[in-house]
Each structure stands twice: as structure tokens, then as C-alpha cells.
Structure 1
Amino acid sequence: MEKIFIIEDDEKIRRELSTFLERYGYACDFSSDFENIIDIVLKSEVHLILLDINLPYYDGYYICREIRKQSNVPIIVVTSRQSEIDELMSMNLGADDFITKPYNTHILLARIASILKRAYHNSDTDLLSYNGLIFNISNSSMRYNNNEIELTKNESKILNILIKKKGAIVSRNEIMDFLWQSDEFVDDNTLTVNINRLRKKLESIGASEFIQTKRGQGYILK
């Protein structure tokens, strides 16, 4: 189920929009803590953000810019502001679309579906994301804060299973079984070497301590 984060300070609009989107199969999340909204959103593991401009503490422009520094998650600006300047500023700061209120809810649905399809279901690429880290399965590369690095086949497989199991501990045996699918011999020492190399590559692009060791259990993404 694809998850949408709604950044909207009007509680009635927020809840109505959430109820509407959930009716059409989306999971929704939101927060009334606008002082820490950027950190909350980046930790929430969502597929798309609906962002208002007029907000407490920080306006939508600032939030859009700060999120875009750390994540490529799609952002749709949904606002009562209707000037071309507002639309231009939103796009220049990294928004993927701009919709003015009042809006037709089914047009909003169509825009959401189109952007999600383009971002996550493009046949030319296969992207997985976690806390701002973007893993491109199709070319075995990962990107974080606009820094990109290539991975070996085993490093890609390890990152793949850790992201897909995000939030859960993955045992060493489970990872080795996953690597064995390529009919390559992988022993315990080989796994340790590959984990350490992957950690160093993550650190080299600014994603430090992403892989945490759970002694006697396995590994988990923080």
C-alpha cells in the first residue's frame, strides 16, 4: 500500500483528505507538530507528500527545499495560492506538481496516481528508498544527498533485502540464502566482508551508520 504524508495545518481539511485517499486504497499519515515536521516526514517512509504553503513555523517553500536536500520523494504542493509566481517557486524548489484549492478530488487522485507511477513503477527503472537513500536496482547504484555510488552484485543484493525488510532484523543466514540464489558460494566470512564494504560505501556518500548490527541476531537499517 502506497503511503501519503499530508502536510496541512487545517485539521478538518487534513482529516477529510485523509479519509478520501484511504477510501481509494492509500495509507495516510500527518502530524500537527509543524515545528519538527521536516524530520517527522523524512522518518515516515512515505511514497508521496501533499504540501500546503501557508503553515506554522515554516512555510511550504522552506519545507519543500529542506526535504528535497535529503530525499527525492515526490511532492505535490496543494494550496489556495493561485499566482504563477507561487507555482514557479514550488517547481524551482523541487515540487513535482502544483494544485490550487478548491480542487476536484478526482483530478487530485489522477495527479497522485500519475506521479507515483512515474516515480516508482517506471519499467525502465526500479527504485527502492529508505530515509533519503535511493537504491536503483536496475543499475546497481545508490544515491544519498545527491551523492551517488555504484555497488557490486553482492552489495546490491544485501542492500536490496535490507531495504525490503526495513524496520526488521534480517539474520545472516537469511542474507546468505538470498545471496546463494545467484549460485555463488557465499560463506560467513564473505558476508562480513561484503557488509563492511557496503557500510563504507554508504559512509562515503554521507549515509553513516545506516546498517546496524544486532549481536546474535543479524542486521537492521536504522
Structure 2
Amino acid sequence: MFKLLIIEDDESLFHEIKERLAQWSYDVYGIQDFEKVIEEFTQIKPDLVVIDIQLPKYDGFHWCRIIRSHSNVPIIFLSSRDHPTDMVMSMQLGADDYIQKPFHFDVLIAKIQAVLRRVYNYNTDQIQLKTWCGATIDYEKNSVTNELGTIELTKNETYILRQLIDHKNKIVSREELIHSLWEDERFISDNTLTVNVNRLRKRLDEIGLGQYIETKVGQGYMAKEGSPS
């Protein structure tokens, strides 16, 4: 399990980042005292650092310089500023990537995985197992297993389930699902999405999980987290 240090003073954003990354089995840490960043960094010994530029007391550039004087750990900058000089400065200080706020969490995760893969020769494709509502989902085998048995899904059904679980307890719009499927070159239409979700729910019903995929009329779909009885 990789340890990630998120140096971000926006608590709500930090907790959302932590929640999303935890779904990918990353061990995520934050900063308790922004005047003692390097002390906490040294104690945690993270495998990767994500750092905001605008921070209390000292900015992210300052802490990047200090971290670089101690370690070659990969660093990804976050910034709500749109000055090209910020990106140039980040790269000159030895950052591995730069992400502009606001960002899509899929982009952040993809960039983190790309850096880990490059630096540690890490194959993110090995992360294929996910637990949800007491079941184990094998993304490679397109299967869902719990005490009631195992069901096999199509690739589209697995992809849709994965998108919903990655955003569990939150509504994922039909447009987001269709867009992500199109980007993945699965070329799914609005009507095909409805068919796939309905079929996915029926398959999940076979092992008592269909109730945990909800349709939000006029909004989209949501995967709830629960403990089936």
C-alpha cells in the first residue's frame, strides 16, 4: 500500500481527496500543523506528495524546496491560480506534475497512478479487487461475489458499476456515465445506458445487491453503501 501525503489546507477538499484515494487502497495522510510540514513529512515518509500552492504561513513552493532538499519523493502540485509561471516554477523545483483547480478526481487519480507507475515501476492494473456492500468485485474477471454466490457481468456493466462505486453515496449523472464510457471508447448511447443499468441491477438482484443501485429520476444513478442482511 502506497502512502500519500496531501498538503492541502481546505479541509473539505482534503477529506474528499482522501475518501476518493482510499477507494484505490492508498494510505492517505494530511498535515496537522502547517508550520511543521517537513517534520510531519519526515515522520510519515510518504511515497508521493500532493501539495497545494496556496497554504498558510509558507506556500507550496517553499515546502517543495525543503522537501527536495531531503528527498526525491514524487510531488504533484495543485493550484487554483492560472499563471503559467506557477507551472514553470513547479517544474523547476522538481515537481512531477501540476493540476489546475478545479479538477476532476479521475484526472487526479490518473496522474497519481501515472507518477507511481513511472517512479516505482508500479502496475496499477493489479488493483482489480474492490469490496462493496459485503461483496468482492473482481474488475478483471467482471464478477461480483458474496455469500449468496457469484455473478458474471458484461464489460459495460462492470464499467458502470465501477463508476458508481467510485462515487458511492453520490449521484452520478447520466451525462457523466455516457461521457466516461465514450471516452473509454465503449460508445454507449442514452438508451443503451438505461438498458445496461437495468440489466446490471437485475444481475445484482441475484445476490441481493440490486437495491443498492438507485435511480434518481431526472438526475442519474447512485451506488449506496450498506451491509445487506
Aligned match of 1:45: 45
Aligned partners of 2:116 and 2:122 also within 8 Å: no
Cα deviations across residues 123-168 of structure 1 (Å, max 9, x unaligned)?
9xxxxxxxxxxxxxxxxxxxxxxxxxxxxxxxxxxxxxxxxxxxxx
Q: Distance in 2 between matches of 1:4 and 1:82?
A: 25
Show the 5 A alignment for 1:11-50. 11-50=11-50
* SS in structure 2 of the partner of residue 43 of structure 1: helix
Q: Distance in 2 between matches of 1:95 and 1:122?
A: 19
Q: Distance in 1 between matches of 2:108 and 2:122?
A: 20
* SS in structure 2 of the partner of residue 63 of structure 1: helix
Q: Distance in 2 between matches of 1:79 and 1:38?
A: 20
Cα deviations across residues 55-104 of structure 1 (Å, max 9, x unaligned)?
11110000001100110000000111121100000110111100001111
Aligned match of 1:73: 73
Which residue type is aligned with residue 110 of structure 1? Answer: A
Aligned partners of 2:8 and 2:52 also within 8 Å: yes
Show the 5 A alignment for 1:22-171. 22-121=22-121
Given the two structures, how large is their TM-score scaled by the length of structure 1?
A: 0.54
Q: What's the offset of the Cα at 1:22?
A: 0.3
Which contiguous aligned blocks of 4+ residues in structure 1 show a shift greater than 6 angstroms? none
Q: Distance in 2 between matches of 1:27 and 1:122?
A: 16
Given the two structures, how large is their TM-score scaled by the length of structure 2?
A: 0.52
- Tell me the percent identity: 43
Aligned match of 2:144: none
Aligned partners of 1:78 and 1:98 also within 8 Å: yes
Which residue type is aligned with residue 53 of structure 1? Answer: I
Structure 2: any 5+ residue segments left out of the alignment? 124-229
CA RMSD of aligned residues (A): 1.4
Q: Distance in 1 between matches of 2:58 and 2:42?
A: 16
Structure 1: any 5+ residue segments left out of the alignment? 124-222
Aligned partners of 2:54 and 2:60 also within 8 Å: yes
Aligned partners of 1:53 and 1:59 also within 8 Å: yes
Give the total of aligned pairs: 123
Q: What's the offset of the Cα at 1:34?
A: 0.3
